[in-house]
Structure formats: structure tokens, C-alpha cells
């Protein structure tokens, strides 16, 4: 698999595994994990599909909540790491837009994976098809305000004040981003693109939040509050 097909994930897998460790990076540990766990624990979820499961971290979190999990990801090295950490887990090689889907899951999760999917419409259609009637699609995603920033992002103006540049917000596009040995392709899309696709499938929005950091480095907390990275959405498939 070459970089054009994998969006940089094949070449970046080793650095990604180091960055995530077993507990996840800053955004996962201090911003997203707590509200994501709150949406899965104690709600009677029996089985879940994690689309873009990577090294399997959220699958392991769901298992600790008593949920039977299946993870799917197109990057073989990440799946190998998932199986190393969870030998009894169910991890499958595949892409969201071409996966088999037969309405068998109580919960389908996209934890920071929609931004990696070139064919968003096909991917969402497959995720909805994988849900049983009455099931839940739980999404953690980068905010569209944030993805409209790169490649400039945080810069200093003529007075030396740190600013975040947002431009071409309405233009869907792929952007290469890099940090600490990782170089991957993310997709910027306006929020209306996501909302329209989900609404067109008849899903009902049950939750929309922009979670704030709960700990960690004060400078990172302050910057996150200036330009939030994430939102969480929960959608229900009609019964």
C-alpha cells in the first residue's frame, strides 16, 4: 500500500504507536475519553463496531465496560499492535466505505476517524447500515473550525500575538499534517457536510457537545479553549 492510498498511515504507523502508547495522546486522555465513556457505560450496549480502530485503544475501553467489540482499520501495522495488546480481540483489515454491513451492532463508533476518510458519504452510509434499528452512531471528530486552519494554523501577527488562521472554510479539501514523525492526510469539510449526510440517512441527533480539557498542561488547556479541537455527536437510527 503506498502513501497515496493510505493517506500517510502506512509510513506513520510506527510513530503513531509511540505517540499513543497504551493510554492515548493528550486530546484523547484529557478531552475526549471521559465524555466518550459516559456515552457507552451503563446503557445496555452489547456489541460495538469501532470504525478506524487504529491500535485498538477505544475497543479496549469499551471491553472494560462489558461491550463485545469489533475493530476495523485499513492499516496493517496498527492492527498488529491492536492484536498484540488484545490477543483475544476481533480486529479486521478493511476500509469504512467498502466494509460489510448488515445491521448487527448496537453501537458504531468513529473516534477521530471521519477526517481520514476520503469518501465520507460512502463511509457514513456503511456505518449506518451496520447499525441495528434503534442503534447509536457515536462520533468524535475534529471541529471544522480547526481543520480549516492548516497549513497556517497558529501563527504570530505583526505584534507578536499568537493567532489561529481560518480560511477557505467552505472548501472541502485534503490537507497533509505532521507532528513528531507522523505525516498523514486529514480532510477538511464544513460542519454542514457532516450534518447533512447524517440527517439524510434519517438519523436523529441526541447529543452535540464541544468537550473541554479536564487536565494536563495549562498552556495546552488555554490554547484548546481558544480554538477547540473536538466535538462529540451521538445519533440514533430510527427503530
Asked, for residue 185, whether it belongs to a domain, the answer is no
Domain-embedded: residue 86: yes
Residue 208, beta-bridge partner list = 233
- Give the pLDDT of residue 5: 58
Cα–chain center distance at 151: 20
Tally of domains in the chain: 1
Separation CA 11–CA 75 (nearest Å): 10
Please, which residues have CB within 8 angstroms of residue 99's CB and are 6 or more apart in sequence? 51, 72, 126, 130
Query: Given this model, what pLDDT does residue 101 score?
Result: 86
Query: Quick count: other Cβ atoms within 10 Å of Cβ 152?
Result: 11
Nearest to 51 by CA among 133, 132, 140, 135: 140
Burial class (CB in 10 A: 0-12, 13-18, 19+), 115: buried
Within-domain flag for 197: yes
User: For the chain (length 239 residues), average pLDDT per consecutive 10?
Assistant: 67 94 94 97 96 97 98 97 97 95 95 96 98 98 95 91 94 92 95 98 98 93 93 97
Measured CA to CA, the distance from residue 4 to residue 107 in angstroms comes to: 31
Task: Flag whether 164 is in a domain.
Answer: no
pLDDT at residue 2 in the model: 40
Range of the domain at 34: 3-143+190-236
In a domain, 128, yes or no: yes
* 22 lies in some domain: yes
3-state secondary structure 145-195: HHHCCCCCCEEECCCCCEEECCCCCCCCEEEEEEECCEEEEEEECCHHHHH
In angstroms, rounded to a whole number, what is the distance separating the alpha carbons of residues 97 and 95?
6
Residue 60: all three cell numbers together: 479496549
Task: Flag whether 171 is in a domain.
Answer: no
Residue 163 domain flag: no
Kindly give, in sequence order, each residue whose CB lies less than 8 Å from that of residue 85, ignoring residues fewer than 6 positions away.
Answer: 22, 55, 56, 60
pLDDT at site 3:
41
Domain with residue 124: its CATH number is 3.40.50.150
Amino acid at each position: 500500500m503506498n502513501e497515496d492510498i493510505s493517506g500517510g498511515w502506512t509510513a506513520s504507523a510506527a510513530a503513531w504507536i509511540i505517540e499513543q502508547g497504551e493510554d492515548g495522546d493528550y486530546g484523547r486522555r484529557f478531552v475526549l475519553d471521559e465524555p466518550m465513556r459516559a456515552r457507552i457505560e451503563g446503557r445496555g450496549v452489547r456489541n460495538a463496531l469501532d470504525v478506524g480502530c487504529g491500535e485498538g485503544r477505544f475497543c479496549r475501553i469499551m471491553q472494560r465496560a462489558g461491550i463485545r467489540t469489533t475493530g476495523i482499520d485499513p492499516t496493517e501495522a496498527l492492527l498488529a499492535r491492536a492484536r498484540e495488546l488484545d490477543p483475544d480481540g476481533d480486529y479486521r483489515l478493511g476500509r469504512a466505505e467498502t466494509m460489510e454491513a448488515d445491521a448487527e451492532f448496537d453501537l458504531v463508533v468513529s473516534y477521530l476517524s471521519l477526517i481520514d476518510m476520503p469518501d465520507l458519504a460512502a463511509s457514513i452510509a456503511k456505518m449506518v447500515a451496520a447499525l441495528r434499528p434503534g442503534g447509536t452512531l457515536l462520533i468524535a471528530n475534529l471541529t471544522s473550525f480547526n481543520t480549516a486552519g492548516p497549513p497556517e494554523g497558529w501563527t504570530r501577527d505583526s505584534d507578536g500575538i499568537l493567532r489561529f488562521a481560518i480560511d477557505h472554510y467552505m472548501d472541502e479539501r485534503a490537507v497533509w499534517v505532521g507532528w513528531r514523525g507522523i505525516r498523514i492526510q486529514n480532510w477538511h469539510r464544513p460542519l454542514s457536510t457532516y450534518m447533512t449526510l447524517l440527517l439524510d440517512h434519517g438519523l436523529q441527533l441526541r447529543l452535540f457537545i464541544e468537550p473541554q480539557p479536564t487536565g494536563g498542561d495549562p498552556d495546552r488547556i488555554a490554547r484548546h479553549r481558544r480554538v477547540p479541537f473536538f466535538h462529540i455527536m451521538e445519533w440514533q437510527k430510527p427503530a
